[in-house]
Amino acid sequence: IKKIGVLTSGGDSPGMNAAIRSVVRTCAFHNIGCVGIYRGYQGMIEGDFEEMGPRSVNNIVNKGGTILKSARSMEFKTPEGRKKAHENLVKAGVDALVVIGGDGSFTGALLFNTEFNFPVMGIPGTIDNDIFGTSHTLGYDTALNTVVEVIDKIRDTASSHNRLFLVEVMGRDAGHIALNAGIGAGAEEILIPEEDLGLDRLLDSLRKSKAAGKTSSIVVIAEGDKIGKTVFELKDYIESNFPEYDVRVSVLGHMQRGGAPSCFDRVLASRLGVKAVESILEGQSNFMVGLLSDKIVLTPLELAIKGHSEIDLELLRVSDIMTI
């Protein structure tokens, strides 16, 4: 291996820059070249490359987003697109690839390896934490901190006005952000896709907290919850059952994907980048690097894509106990 290409693909997440920096500097440490590929697979198809050295990644460890930009590429889903991408890599002397992204990006990487026998290594970058083979994806910890900080602020208003706030958080089909940020922010109830709480239990819980003398409440709702109502329909439903409640909705949105990465995400990104490059140099391919029991380990990309990232339902019980 003489030169490694690195790209960020799919949804961005805080810590991607720290991972790029780590990949670039680990390549320099081992005296091999590194090429930054802009705009994910689309940039690979268009040959949008830049040679990178340790000084190309100064002052980015603390920056959200990705300096290489991210993109979704329909063309990469076609054999012609992937062929073009491969030709560009060969022309640039790139002989291995580190893909920072989510399961879609990994699916593309695996296909690319199958077609061209090209070494690929994945780094999980998404705030949703929905990837098998790592307890934490890059950006997840930062997103949790962002959500908790915002809910703390919402709580001020909720308690001043005796309001019930429904706070919708990201996570796609997973409830990791909702469950953990919900506990961290002291939410009354947490609705996640992994457990169908049902409307009756939600009403029951609100009834109980009212009887217990709570005058304001925060309910955290994962965007992928199974309640079958939008958060705005849920507001109407609660108000029709509890006319005395003044219900407000806050959909947090993309603020959750931005911001400076937490220290945890910066350290994780640094460790994952080193492991990704060194695994390639050891002749490995088709793995994702991830964190399990505080060790950086390899998981076959195929498993990372197909596997299910389990949520710890014991946390729901913890949440229930905390809101007695």
CA quadruple 131, 104, 259, 257: dihedral sign:
negative
Stretch that binds ligand ADP, among 14-22, 73-81, 231-239, 271-279 (CB under 6 A): 73-81
Minimum Å distance from CB 70 to ligand ADP? 8
Task: Write 150-153 long-range contacts (CB < 8 A, 24+).
Answer: 150/252, 150/255, 151/181, 151/185, 151/187, 151/218, 151/220, 152/185
For ligand ADP, the binding residues in 119-138 under the rule CB under 6 A are: 126
312 belongs to the catalytic site: no
Closest approach, Cβ 72 to ligand ADP, in A, equals: 3
The span from the CA of 253 to the CA of 169, in Å, is 7
Query: Rule CB under 6 A: is residue 111 a binding residue for ligand ADP?
Result: yes
Tell which one of 14, 43, 102, 273 touches ligand ADP (CB under 6 A): 102
Q: Tell me which of 4, 6, 8, 9 binds ligand ADP, using CB under 6 A.
A: 9
Q: Decide: is 140 part of the binding site for ligand ADP (CB under 6 A).
A: no
Specify whether the CB–CB gap between 227 and 191 falls below 8 A. Answer: yes
12, 48, 128, 225: which is the annotated catalytic residue? 128
Minimum gap (Å) between residue 112 Cβ and ligand ADP:
8
Q: Which of 57, 54, 61, 71 is nearest to 269 (CA)?
A: 61
- State the nearest-atom distance from the C-beta of 13 to ligand ADP, in Å: 9
- Nearest residue (CB) to ligand ADP, 159 versus 285: 285
Distance CA 29, CA 31 (A): 6
> How many residues of this chain interact with ligand ADP, rule: CB under 6 A?
17
Give the residue carrying structure tokens 């290594």. Answer: 121
Task: Give the separation between CA 147 and CA 252, rounded to whole angstroms.
Answer: 8
What span, in angstroms and rounded, lies between the C-alpha atoms of 190 and 179?
6
Q: Which is nearer to ligand ADP, 111 or 148 (CB)?
A: 111
Residue 36 touching ligand ADP (CB under 6 A): no
Known catalytic residues?
128
Residues that bind ligand ADP (CB under 6 A): 9-11, 41, 72-73, 76-77, 101-105, 107-108, 111, 126
